[in-house]
Structure 1
Amino acid sequence: MTQDDPPDGWSPQERRMWEAYRLGEWCDDVAEVRGSALRYLLIAAPSPYPGCQTRLQLRGTRVTGELDLAEVTVAGSIRLSRCRFEEPVRLDNAHLGAAFEVNACTMPGLTLAGARIALECEIVACTVTGTVDLRSLAVENRLSLNDTDIRPSHGEAALDAQSIEVGEDFWASGLDCSGTVFLNSARIQDVLAFRGSRIRGDSGLQAPELTVGGGLFLDSGFSGTGQINLYGASIGGSVRLDDCRLDGPGAGPGAYALNLSCAEIGGDIWAGRGLVVQGPAIVRDTSVRGSVVLKGAHFDISSRVPTAEAALDASRLRVGGDIDCRDGFVTHGMIDLRDARVGGSLLFEGAELTALDNRYPALRGNGVETGGVFNLCDGFTAYGRISLNSVTVRSRVCFDDAALDTSADESALSFVGSTTASLSFRLREAPAGVVELRHSRIGLLRDAPAAWPTGLVLDGAVYDSLHPALPARTRLPWLGRDPAGFVPQPYEQLAATYQRQGQDADARAVLVAKHRSMRRTLSPPARLWSLLQDATVGYGYRPLRAVWLLLCLLSTGAALFTGWPPTAVGDGKPPPFQPGIYTLDLLLPLVDLGQERSYAPTGLAQWAAVALIGMGWLLATTVAAGASRVLRRS
């Protein structure tokens, strides 16, 4: 027997396999071979026939016994199609100089841990009733597990591909795994695709520190039961989640459906249609160079309450483009966008957000910064409060045609300490809850009287202009809705706005209304003094009242003293009596016109003189107080 002859004792079928190997042809007419014969063929490696390339191409064969190719070096390709293996196939640390292709085969397990494959590795449309172990596998070209069904024993991993390195794409479309898939620290040069795949198990897909040079595709009917863990992943392209359903492992601390925290995404996170997530989704501290598109997506943690805080936790998310949550976006549970940085816009038109616990808002966006618009409008509905404290929006915040559904004792919107060029607050209907704009800075504030909330907190809010430009009598009820009662700053801010627009009469009306509202907070003596200032000089903002009152008192006194003139007093010759000048001398304190000290009234005229003197002092004091207030304000 020469080296190119099969060993003695081989069956005729195994001899035909030997000859097909030397010819590099498919071997189709072999019903059964031994695993040990396959191993011997690949290790002995007979020389090819002239003009041929040796390769193992076996189709429709039953392989008995164990096929153990651990640490074997094989120069040619291995292609197995529709073969059935009795024992797990082992290629641990094998070195394959060409391709390894297994198509439509059935086997109880497959191990390629530490193997090196020079060309592509394809495990396609196979049924594996154990674990597929690809740990530290290195494939220079493409790796494919398309349409493979992996059914390990309970508690075992379905696919263990930790630390694999793939020089091109990794395709696992249509993969069906009834156990955990591990891709920890895997490195894929181009695309990683799980399109239409199903992964079932408490641990789901574990791929922390995954590196993908191209895009990651979990779309086209992908479903995951258990955790999808992409913590710290680096994706050079986009993450696609269209028509994807993720079901978390259930309630409990640390249980989530999707974890994409601390990741780097070079393209978009795209879920333009059909994304359903049952369980918490976490995208904390992640950087996305493009946009996050979640149109029509559904996030639900209703079965996880009270252990889960947020349905979508995107705190400290950094996005170069937009966050697009339009067109039927729905959440049952809080959306957390705290301290997110968005280069484009935040879009929630037509979205519906529901808070499941009064401890958490429907949307928490405290500290958000965005370079575009922040739209919660055009059919936007929130069942629960919206918290947007300390946000910075360089364009517009819009609530037009939105509904904020909370109870009367809750906050509907908290927009405290925030800054925006424009706030449009023309709601679909007036909210029952409180709207807080405290200490916010707004360029243009748009609202609608029909949708003013029952409770409105404006203390410290600063705005440059209001639209529509309502007169003071219409705008004043807007200021009296603070649940805490009277606060002076909102009146002063509104008056300043009217003054900038040249509407001085409206500005004075607002300032008078401020003092009238403040009157209710004063002690009885101070309240009486406030009434006198209001009646006499309008708190200094209506000085003509003092003039008219002075004229009335002057006319009354002149008429009275004409009918009942006082008698002259003193030894010298008094000046001629003038009723008008005498009355004016009584009314003006600290002014001596020579009439009051020269004549003394008697009887009823005496009491009238006392009254005029008192009215004069009162009028002078209120005028001085009002003038001082106006001068301080100026």
Structure 2
Amino acid sequence: MAGNDLSDPFEWAEKRLERELWPREREFIVSGGWARSNDLNWADLRSPEVATDENRFDARLIRWLLTKDLPGVTCRHEGVELWGLWIGNKLDLEEVDCGRSLKANACVFEAPPLLQDAHLKHLFLQGSILPGLNAHRLTCAGNVFLRKGLESNGLVDLAGARIAGTLDCIGSTLSVTEGRALNCDAAVIGAAVFLSDGFTATGEVNFVGAKITGQLSCDGGSFSALQGRALNCDSAVIGANVFLRNGFTATGEVNFVRTEVTGNLRCRSAKIEGVFDAEGAKIGGGFFWEEISGAVEALDLTETSVSRLTDDTASWACVETAKLSGFRYDSIQSDMTVQDRLALLARKGERTLTSPTTKPSTRRDFDPQPYSQLAKVYESMGHRIDAAKVRFARDERLMWAAFARAMAQSKPDTFGKGTAILSLIWGRIYRDTFGFGHAPFKALRTALLILIATWWLSDQTYQRGEFAPASPVVLTSAEWLDASQQGCKAQQVEGCTMPLQLWEQSTAYRDYETFSPALYALDLFLPLDTLGQEDAWAPSKDRGAFGLTLYWARWAVQLSGWLLLATAAAVFTGVLGKKD
């Protein structure tokens, strides 16, 4: 605080200003760093619209006071505090280490303040208007408040700043004609960052490599990129939550590539026009993607890891391309059904395969990892049926992708393509029969169809007499030999009775194994040979079309039975269709 005689500091200041001191400048010297406009309305703080002798103030006085150049004047302990002034000349505090606060609220700066490498206690520029701010490598022991109607028409540069407290830009407006509006590259902020509740930026907001101990709140903020990125948090480290909610809007890319977030990344009730890139991000809490509107060109979650995924179908519908390769999460909290999930995965982005041909390739590879991840989470949450559906869809896509790759080879490879066709045929059989091992009870349907078909064919063959007893004793008996002589010799002709139908009238037939088409079909299908029908009866391949068909078909029925039972055993024991 100055003494009673201020003639020396007044004279010293007027000599350097080359004019008489304005009223607010005299007030500033008298108080040791405090001045306000007489027109200031405390109930409605507004910066002055025009400069007058009553609100004019030269910024050089601030430096002279803080560097103790003003003779006989000591800066007040609270620091410099200005209200509603029109500040001319450049406020130059470069490399000034004063440990005092700088408060210039509801003021107008004619030139961008220079605070590069300065050391301050607090920096408050609430409601002020300035053409930019250079606070590169600023060290602040407390808070930086650029809020409550602050307007900057140039770059606000806090790159490399060390702020022990909060960076508060609530309700401020930052705009540039090109490049960045707010630059916090590699800044270290000891508390939270607020770019919310009416915060508006026209130009990139940059937090690349920044370290924020608290939360990053952009709730209700508006971010518009002139080109490229609207919000850039590439490789930032955030110690709490990230909030992009409640009217958050972004026109341009939102970048959280390789960002580490200790808490949640919440995107809710937000509008995004552009790319949302969180490739390689590590989110300790949940990733929330809810009530999103706008046109999201791409949502990139490649190699992103989160603890919990909370989302909805409508929000994913806003995403043109979903990049999900390597996306990992431990649980899901959502109303989305497994069908919704599969529809999303069906349109996820895939890597384009390069082709050795001269024509550009339009083929896209298939990445199964997002399906496996979803199935794993469903399994851990107890939704085993949903997990099986996801694995089924994945394996079907894998089957077709492998076939497409083999058939698209530019060099002639007859063997390879032939193998691919056989693999596809087997794959489709395996799919329809066992659901790629994830729906093994489909085999019951296949087995039932085979049994019904064999039952019908056996019954029709027997009804036409195109069966014969298979026992050598019967075939050499007098009754059968007599029936064979009197009956049809080969194919059925008019007026001819089949030997079987004649033999049925003999006494020997009554004591023979009764034919049952159902048991015969089951005896053929099951590789047990315990029902006796296959040993007792055989179709006659030379006595009619049905007998000939069944004669050869029984081998296929037996083979299918062996394959189905063997494959079923492999599936149920986990050799095939293992749960990944």
Superposition TM-score tier, normalisation by shorter sequence:
0.5 to 0.7
Q: Please say if 1:433 is aligned against 2:320.
A: yes
Candidates 163, 171, 178, aligned match of 1:265: 163
Q: What residue in structure 1 maps to residue 248 of structure 2?
A: 351
**C-alpha distance after superposition, 1:357-416 (max 9, x if no partner):** xxxx2x1012222333322212x111101111222333332222121414xxx42x1122
Candidates 202, 206, 225, aligned match of 2:114: 206
Contact 1:104 1:124 survives alignment (8 Å): no
Distance in 2, Cα, partners of 1:601 & 1:335: 82
**C-alpha distance after superposition, 1:240-273 (max 9, x if no partner):** 112212122xxxxxxxx11112222122112222
Q: Please say if 1:284 is aligned against 2:181.
A: no
Superposition CA RMSD, Å: 4.2
Q: Please say if 1:234 is aligned against 2:139.
A: yes
Instruction: Structure 2: state its 5+ residue gaps.
Output: 38-52, 69-73, 351-364, 404-419, 477-510
Once the 2 structures are TM-superposed, how far is the Cα of residue 224 of structure 1 from its aligned partner?
A: 1.9
Contact 1:147 1:172 survives alignment (8 Å): no
3-state SS, counterpart of residue 399 of structure 1: strand
Distance in 2, Cα, partners of 1:263 & 1:78: 34
Q: How does 1:7-46 map to 2 (within 5 A)?
A: none
Q: Normalization by structure 2: what TM-score? A: 0.68
Specify whether residues 219 and 613 from structure 1 end up closer, same or farther in structure 2 by C-alpha distance, changes over 3 A only: same
Candidates 328, 346, 365, aligned match of 1:480: 346
Q: Which amino acid aligns with 2:305?
A: T
Q: Please say if 1:337 is aligned against 2:242.
A: no
Q: What residue in structure 2 maps to residue 556 of structure 1?
A: 456
**C-alpha distance after superposition, 1:74-128 (max 9, x if no partner):** xxx6556xx996x6469xxxxxxxxxx9663999xxxxxxxxx9x97569799xx
Once the 2 structures are TM-superposed, how far is the Cα of residue 332 of structure 1 from its aligned partner?
A: 3.1
Q: Which has the higher contact order (CA 8 A, sep 6+)?
A: 2
Distance in 2, Cα, partners of 1:627 & 1:401: 47
Q: What residue in structure 2 maps to residue 533 of structure 1?
A: 430
Specify whether residues 489 and 566 from structure 1 end up closer, same or farther in structure 2 by C-alpha distance, changes over 3 A only: farther
Specify whether residues 418 and 550 from structure 1 end up closer, same or farther in structure 2 by C-alpha distance, changes over 3 A only: same
Q: Which amino acid aligns with 2:216?
A: I
Q: What residue in structure 2 maps to residue 566 of structure 1?
A: 468
Contact 1:124 1:147 survives alignment (8 Å): no
Q: Which amino acid aligns with 2:201?
A: F
Q: How does 1:337-416 map to 2 (within 5 A)?
A: 337-349=233-245, 350-355=247-252, 361=253, 363-378=254-269, 380-406=270-296, 410-411=297-298, 413-416=299-302
Q: What residue in structure 1 maps to residue 540 of structure 2?
A: 601
Once the 2 structures are TM-superposed, how far is the Cα of residue 186 of structure 1 from its aligned partner?
A: 0.9
Q: Please say if 1:617 is aligned against 2:559.
A: yes
Once the 2 structures are TM-superposed, how far is the Cα of residue 321 of structure 1 from its aligned partner?
A: 2.2
Contact 2:126 2:146 survives alignment (8 Å): yes
3-state SS, counterpart of residue 434 of structure 1: strand
Distance in 2, Cα, partners of 1:405 & 1:54: 67
3-state SS, counterpart of residue 290 of structure 2: coil
Specify whether residues 332 and 158 from structure 1 end up closer, same or farther in structure 2 by C-alpha distance, changes over 3 A only: farther
Contact 2:313 2:336 survives alignment (8 Å): no
Contact 1:532 1:622 survives alignment (8 Å): no
Q: Please say if 1:183 is aligned against 2:104.
A: no
Q: Which amino acid aligns with 2:150?
A: C
Q: What residue in structure 2 maps to residue 418 of structure 1?
A: 304
Contact 1:125 1:146 survives alignment (8 Å): no
**C-alpha distance after superposition, 1:178-205 (max 9, x if no partner):** 443321111223321222333334xx22
Q: What residue in structure 2 maps to residue 246 of structure 1?
A: 152
**C-alpha distance after superposition, 1:194-224 (max 9, x if no partner):** 22333334xx222211111x3111123x222
Q: Which amino acid aligns with 2:323?
A: E
**C-alpha distance after superposition, 1:413-452 (max 9, x if no partner):** 1122222232222265521511223322223334xxxxxx
Distance in 2, Cα, partners of 1:264 & 1:526: 62
Contact 1:146 1:173 survives alignment (8 Å): no
Q: Which amino acid aligns with 2:426?
A: W
Q: What residue in structure 2 maps to residue 442 of structure 1?
A: 329
Distance in 1, Cα, partners of 2:54 & 2:195: 27
Candidates 105, 115, 126, aligned match of 1:219: 126
Q: What residue in structure 2 maps to residue 135 of structure 1?
A: none
**C-alpha distance after superposition, 1:30-56 (max 9, x if no partner):** xxxxxxxxxxxxxxxxxxxxxxx9946
Q: What residue in structure 2 maps to residue 164 of structure 1?
A: 67
Distance in 2, Cα, partners of 1:344 & 1:504: 34
Instruction: Structure 1: state its 5+ residue gaps.
Output: 1-52, 58-76, 91-100, 108-116, 127-144, 152-156, 249-256, 302-310, 356-360, 447-466
Q: What residue in structure 1 maps to residue 335 of structure 2?
A: 468
Contact 1:570 1:598 survives alignment (8 Å): no
Distance in 2, Cα, partners of 1:489 & 1:438: 6
Q: Please say if 1:314 is aligned against 2:207.
A: yes
Specify whether residues 161 and 260 from structure 1 end up closer, same or farther in structure 2 by C-alpha distance, changes over 3 A only: farther
Specify whether residues 622 and 482 from structure 1 end up closer, same or farther in structure 2 by C-alpha distance, changes over 3 A only: farther
Percent identity reads 16
Contact 1:553 1:612 survives alignment (8 Å): no
Once the 2 structures are TM-superposed, how far is the Cα of residue 312 of structure 1 from its aligned partner?
A: 0.9
Q: Decide which moves more: 572-581 or 523-532.
A: 572-581
Contact 1:566 1:602 survives alignment (8 Å): no
Distance in 1, Cα, partners of 2:134 & 2:533: 98
3-state SS, counterpart of residue 280 of structure 1: strand
Specify whether residues 286 and 499 from structure 1 end up closer, same or farther in structure 2 by C-alpha distance, changes over 3 A only: closer
Contact 2:524 2:557 survives alignment (8 Å): no
Distance in 2, Cα, partners of 1:608 & 1:599: 9
Once the 2 structures are TM-superposed, how far is the Cα of residue 583 of structure 1 from its aligned partner?
A: 5.2
Q: Please say if 1:300 is aligned against 2:195.
A: no
3-state SS, counterpart of residue 175 of structure 2: strand
Once the 2 structures are TM-superposed, how far is the Cα of residue 610 of structure 1 from its aligned partner?
A: 0.7
